[in-house]
């Protein structure tokens, strides 16, 4: 039996309706997708923001007591920038709000060997760092340079452009690390820059130190090292130990025994927050029988969580301030 003509007409009309509905649904989906494109999109980080994320800045303030010149203050602003996971650079400048320096006046130096110097600055320093982790050994190579912004007449600068190259090797055993530093340069200003001497020497100098660092809970740390500063060849110190009368040229070299030094240094760091760290420093010079003690605070613009070890950029900033680990 064949279907009636009415049924055929009904099925034909039903098919046309379904086709029309399908054609209307597709433009509706396109409109919905277009509407999503018109919604505000999450802005991408600008190149300036990306640049700032790779940098950091800190300010360190220390009170120091030196057994040769007494109390003085150091204020050290520093900035750093990380080019990649392994390479970075930093710049720092130490300012001395209060410090006793050697009297540069030969007429009064016998009666008043030290005079007050307020607000003086030291040499401007730049450091370039490369950090690598070949297996269990961590190696950080540093090239440091200073520019003569400090007053060499009172021992706050070398009086010329100076450089130093060093390498720190560290091997960790859990929370304990063994340290070995080897370096050389043309000035003593890079060695123990919270240090004991009230002068800077010019001349080839090699320096070594070895010791241990212990990481305590909360990223507290204690580092203790034995060091040796060994001059190679004649040295020129500024200021001279015995200022010369006006018109008389100073001696071009000094005894190497004045520049050579060895002893022990201990540094303790206690993070008070992600941004603020309390540090203590003790140096004992065995050769010159001098002691240096300091305590101070460091504020970092970009903090480090207390449960995490310092990154390369944070380590470099602390070394620029003279407080090591």
Compare 79 and 114 and report the one with higher pLDDT.
79
Q: What pLDDT is recorded for position 302?
A: 82
CA distances from 89 to 128, 162, 189 (A): 4, 17, 19
Q: Output the average pLDDT for the chain.
A: 77
Asked whether the bond before 111 is cis by omega within 30 degrees of 0, the reply is: no
Half-sphere exposure of 81 (CA within 13 A, CB side): 6
From the number of C-beta atoms within 10 Å of its C-beta (0-12, 13-18, 19+), residue 118 rates as exposed
Per the structure block, which two tokens stand in for 115? Answer: 């005079």
Contact 80, 64 (CB under 8 A): no
pLDDT over threshold 60, residue 147: yes
Q: What pLDDT is recorded for position 223?
A: 93
Compare 289 and 247 and report the one with higher pLDDT.
289
Q: What pLDDT is recorded for position 23?
A: 52
Per the structure block, which two tokens stand in for 92? Answer: 């720092």
Residues 27-55 have a mean pLDDT of 57
Q: What pLDDT is recorded for position 19?
A: 56
CA–CA dist 78, 94 (Å, integer):
9
User: Could you tell me the pTM of the whole model?
Assistant: 0.72
Q: What pLDDT is recorded for position 5?
A: 56
Contact 113, 103 (CB under 8 A): yes
pLDDT over threshold 70, residue 155: yes
| pLDDT class of 145 with cuts at 50, 70, 90 | very high
Residues 216-240 have a mean pLDDT of 81
Q: What is the pLDDT of residues 307-324, one digit of tens each?
A: 555 555 455 555 555 555
Q: Report the percent of the chain where pLDDT is more than 70.
A: 67
User: Which residues have C-beta within 8 Å of that of residue 47, sequence separation ≥ 6?
Assistant: none
| pLDDT class of 17 with cuts at 50, 70, 90 | low
Residues 259-281 have a mean pLDDT of 91
Strands 276-285 and 261-271: antiparallel
Q: Write down all domains in the chain, each with its CATH number in brackets.
A: 68-320 (2.40.160)
Asked which of 88-102, 150-164, 277-291 is least confident by mean pLDDT, the reply is: 150-164
Q: What pLDDT is recorded for position 186?
A: 86
């Amino acid at each position: 039996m064949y279907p009636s003509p009415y049924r055929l007409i009904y099925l034909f009309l039903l098919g046309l309706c379904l086709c029309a509905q399908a054609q209307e649904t597709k433009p509706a989906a396109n409109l919905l997708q277009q509407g999503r494109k018109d919604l505000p999109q999450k802005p991408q980080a600008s190149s300036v923001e990306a640049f700032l994320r790779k940098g950091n800045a800190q300010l360190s303030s220390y009170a120091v007591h030196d057994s040769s010149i007494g109390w003085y203050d150091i204020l050290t602003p520093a900035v750093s920038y990380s080019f990649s996971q392994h390479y970075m650079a930093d710049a720092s400048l130490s300012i001395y709000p209060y410090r006793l320096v050697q009297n540069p006046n030969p007429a009064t130096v016998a009666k008043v060997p030290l005079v007050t110097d307020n607000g003086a600055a030291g040499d401007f320093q730049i450091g370039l760092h490369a950090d690598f982790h070949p297996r269990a050994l961590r190696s950080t190579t540093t090239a440091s340079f200073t520019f003569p912004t400090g007053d060499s007449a009172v021992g706050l600068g070398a009086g010329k452009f100076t450089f130093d190259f060093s390498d720190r090797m560290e091997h960790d055993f859990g929370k304990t690390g063994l340290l070995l530093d080897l370096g050389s340069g043309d000035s003593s200003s890079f060695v123990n820059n919270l240090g004991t001497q009230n002068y800077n020497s010019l001349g080839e100098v090699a320096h070594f130190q070895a010791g241990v660092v212990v990481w305590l809970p909360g990223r507290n740390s204690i580092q203790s090292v034995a060091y040796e500063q060994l001059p190679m060849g004649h040295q020129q110190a500024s200021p001279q130990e015995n200022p010369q009368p006006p018109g008389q040229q100073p001696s071009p070299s000094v005894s190497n025994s004045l520049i050579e030094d060895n002893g022990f240094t201990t540094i303790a760091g206690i993070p008070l927050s992600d941004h603020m760290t309390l540090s203590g420093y003790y140096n004992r010079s065995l050769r010159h029988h001098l002691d240096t003690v300091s305590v101070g605070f460091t504020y970092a613009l970009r903090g480090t969580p207390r449960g995490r070890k310092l990154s390369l950029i944070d380590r470099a900033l602390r070394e620029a301030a003279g407080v090591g680990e």
